[in-house]
Amino acid sequence: MMTTQIPIEHPGVILKEEFIEAFDLTPYAVAKRTGIPQTALSEILRGKRNISATNALKLSEFFGVSESFFINIQTRCNLDIAKEKAQEALSEIIPFRGLTPSDAEFLEA
């Protein structure tokens, strides 16, 4: 059974809407309090830059969420993008669990 997942928004959108705007903060204030360069934070909020592990830790500390919160969203977003780009190539892969002994020649090729 294949599970369907809803595509995730870029973590910058979530950061902007669910944290910065929700708490009536400014990007400048968040940048200053976290030590994230303002230009980098601005690019993250516009979806032009990924959240690095270091910045994810800083944001997690500032907003009081788990250390993995922002990096997990970023990873999920990256996987969604990769799946979309590699969809055709992925569909051509024969899963190992589906191989039979008669497929041995195929594996050796």
- pTM (2 d.p.): 0.77
Q: Any idea which fold 11-108 has?
A: 434 Repressor (Amino-terminal Domain) (1.10.260)
The residue ranking higher by pLDDT, 102 or 92, is 92
14 contacts 73 by C-beta, under 8 angstroms:
yes
**70-97 pLDDT tens trace:** 999 999 999 999 999 999 998 898 888 7
How distant, in Å, are the alpha carbons of 25, 33, 38, 77, 102 from that of 58? 16, 9, 13, 19, 53
Domains in the chain: boundaries: 11-108
Where do we find the tokens 């009536």?
A: 24
Structure tokens at 58: 């800083």
**Range in 28-37, 56-65, 72-81, 93-102 the model is least confident about:** 93-102
- Average pLDDT on 36-48 reads 97
